[in-house]
Amino acid sequence: MSDKRMRGRDLQRPFHGVRADAPLETLRDRCAALGKALRPHQCFSHETAAELWRMPLPSRGGPLHVTAVGARGRVRRPGVVGWERPDDDLPTFLLAGVLVLAPADVWCQLSTRLSRRWLVAVGDFLISGERTDFGRRPPLCTPEMLADAVRRHGRRRGAVALKWALGMLRAPVDSPRESLLRLALIAGGLPEPEVQLEVMTAKGKRHGDLGYRSARLIIEYQGDEHRTSRSRWLSDLTRVQLLEDAGYRVILVGADDLRDGARALIARIRRALARSG
């Protein structure tokens, strides 16, 4: 393209040295545009990489994060947070046309960006695989891969949180709210519930989000998708009925139940466990 064309008023200028012929509406669009100006050793990392890997996060958006791997010289551009790891040769992947840090190492980076509970929720997602209407995707990581990444992280900031979170990971888990609910119950002094408790029903095997098998008690988290997806709502309604017919008590939990440390919910579950002996 000629210099004159590059100065055309119809072109977007998202970053210095980059031109786009349409608005950059998605994160992938912004990363693809910036990727044109990055060097081979610079890759997307932190929250940006987490979003590209479809990891659950408490919030989304914000500046793009880029890490210079194996070299000094962090990126310094408006709208970009630059990082550097000159002493490491961290694994990277080409994802949707842009270079992204490996998911296990992204998880380690998030240890200084998220609370410990959310760090567990993201880790559960990584070793469980994303649940979709068509089944569960293959997990992005194994527990061993996360442990290796923690060793690479060493004694950097977040090391203590990573060690704690690594021991709290469970699979399979369908949503971050299930992870947060499990941790809230443990913090409230209850025994740790089993994840995806399997029950043989009149229509075959069904699973409860969390449960206590010996007490025949299941805790089901009802997220917003149960309201917005009619098929999901009907499917879960049938599943709850089958679980109850199989002799299990089902406690339905919503977002409001997790506020204030979930004290009222914890007391309710404690009473149910006491009645079961």
Q: What is the pLDDT of residue 15?
A: 87
Average pLDDT value for the chain: 93
Choice between 2 and 245, residue whose per-residue pLDDT is larger: 245
Average pLDDT over residues 13-28: 88
pLDDT for 233 beyond 90: no
Which has the closest alpha carbon to 180: 277, 68, 56, 66? 56
Which has the closest alpha carbon to 126: 172, 90, 94, 75? 172
pLDDT tens digits, residue range 117-152?
A: 999 999 999 999 998 878 889 999 999 999 999 999
Residues of the chain above pLDDT 90, percent: 77
Per-residue confidence at 225, pLDDT binned at 50, 70, 90? low
pLDDT tens digits, residue range 179-192?
A: 999 999 999 999 99
pLDDT for 227 beyond 70: no
Per-residue confidence at 16, pLDDT binned at 50, 70, 90? confident
Average pLDDT over residues 247-262: 93
Domains in the chain (CATH in brackets) are 1-101 (no CATH), 104-172 (no CATH), 176-276 (3.40.960.10)
Q: What is the pTM of this model?
A: 0.92
